Amino acid sequence: MIEAAIFDMDGLLIDSEPFWRRAEMTVFNTVGINLSEANCRETMGFRLNEVVDLWYSRFPWTGKSKKQIEFEILDSVKELIQSEGEPLPGIYDTIELCKKLNLKTAVASSSAMVLIEATVDRLGIRNEFDTLQSAENEEFGKPHPSVFIKTAQRLGVRPENCIVFEDSFHGMVAGLAAKMKVIAVPEESSDRFLAAHSILNFLDSKRVKTFIENN
């Protein structure tokens, strides 16, 4: 029986993935690394420090510390969310559905808490969630399941009684590893998401309701 709904943030609540790509390409360019959109898609679902560590391992730079690069990217994404962030289709209806079904609700993201808070405030949904959880202080980010397991603990719900909404492959893997039900809402159709319990083109609250009632 599903007792809680856990929402990813980037690319699920808000169309922030383009913001990340814009920020990463701009900031990494300042240290001589010219990333493409495809390069940035490689790290969807990763924590920011993991993204920076990856590109440093491939293209070591000088002039700025890794922490400085992280700060500049984070600051840029935050500004873009606050000025341009828009909700993705079905978000409000799906959150309303979960509340009507008396499910506990949470956001669990690889992003820093400052970005989670900026997003829920921009969308006006901060009070709709019982808890907000960032993987920034976890030992491992997604695809490790720790952020989802910690979220379930904070909600007081067993992981197997949680449903996770995810748009990224790494997020889907993390949800499955946490033994949760996973509804994938990928940006682009791909066979990589076939392991999910359900795949949607967008958060269709009617289909979500049917899934919850049948599980």
**Second CATH level (architecture) for the domain 17-84:** Orthogonal Bundle (1.10)
Task: Give the total residue count for the chain.
Answer: 215
Examine the pLDDT at 190 and tell me if it is beyond 90. Answer: no
Give residue 46's pLDDT. Answer: 84
Examine the pLDDT at 182 and tell me if it is beyond 80. Answer: yes
118-171 pLDDT, tens digit each: 999 999 999 999 999 999 888 888 899 999 999 999 999 999 999 999 999 999
The CA dihedral of 5, 112, 154, 145, to the nearest 10 degrees, is 70
Both tokens of 119, joined, read 């997003």
Give residue 138's pLDDT. Answer: 86
Mean pLDDT of 48-60: 93
pLDDT above 70 covers a percentage of the chain that reads: 100
- Sheet with 198-199: list strands edge to edge: 131-134, 104-109, 4-7, 162-166, 181-184, 198-199
Instruction: Give this prediction's pTM.
Output: 0.87
Give residue 43's pLDDT. Answer: 87
Look at phi and psi of residue 144 and say left if phi exceeds 0, alpha if psi is from -120 to 50, else beta.
beta
Give residue 140's pLDDT. Answer: 87
**Does 53 participate in catalysis according to the annotation?**
no
Assigned fold of 4-15+86-213: Rossmann fold (3.40.50)
**Does 10 participate in catalysis according to the annotation?**
yes
Examine the pLDDT at 187 and tell me if it is beyond 90. Answer: no
Q: Which amino acid is at 53?
A: D
Give residue 188's pLDDT. Answer: 80
| Domain assignments of the chain as residue spans, ordered by start | 4-15+86-213, 17-84
Mean pLDDT of the chain, nearest integer: 94
55-102 pLDDT, tens digit each: 999 999 999 999 999 999 999 999 999 999 999 999 999 999 999 999
